[in-house]
Every structure is written in structure tokens, then in C-alpha cells.
Amino acid sequence: MSRLTGTIDVIVFTGDASWGLRLPDSVIAAYHGAQLLPLALGGLLIAALGALLSAAWAAGSRTVTALRIE
């Protein structure tokens, strides 16, 4: 389905919709596979740090305070 070899389609069907909309290849195939791995790992790291920080705060505070904040 990709028009560019070695790329992963970010928007797969939007550019080839039945009403004839044609998006440029730079929009459809925005990232190469080697670029996606650091982005995915960075997203997981940010999510894990955010979860650990809030969990550490909740564990150190009183139960009533943590439930009120939530």
C-alpha cells in the first residue's frame, strides 16, 4: 500500500479515499521504521515516569487526600 519503499504509512486510507482526495507522499509516509522505535520508546518512558511519580506521591500521602485529589 505504500508508495515509498521502506516507509510505514501513517495515514493509510485517507489519501486514497473514494472521493478522490490526494495527499502528498510526505504526509502519508511521514516516518521511517528507524525513526519510530525511539519515538515509541520515548513515549513509553514518559508514560512510565508519569505513572511512577503520581504513584509515589499517592503512596506517601494519606488515603483520604489521595482520593480527594483524584
pLDDT digits (tens, 9 = 90+) for 15-66: 455 566 777 777 767 777 788 899 999 999 999 999 999 999 989 999 998 8
Burial 27-56 (b: 16+ CB within 10 A, else e): ebbeeeeeeeeeeeeeeeeeeeeeeeeeee
pLDDT of residue 12: 53
Look up the pTM and report it.
Answer: 0.52
Q: Is the pLDDT assigned to residue 3 strictly greater than 90?
A: no
Length of the chain: 70
pLDDT of residue 53: 94
Which three cell numbers mark 25? 507522499
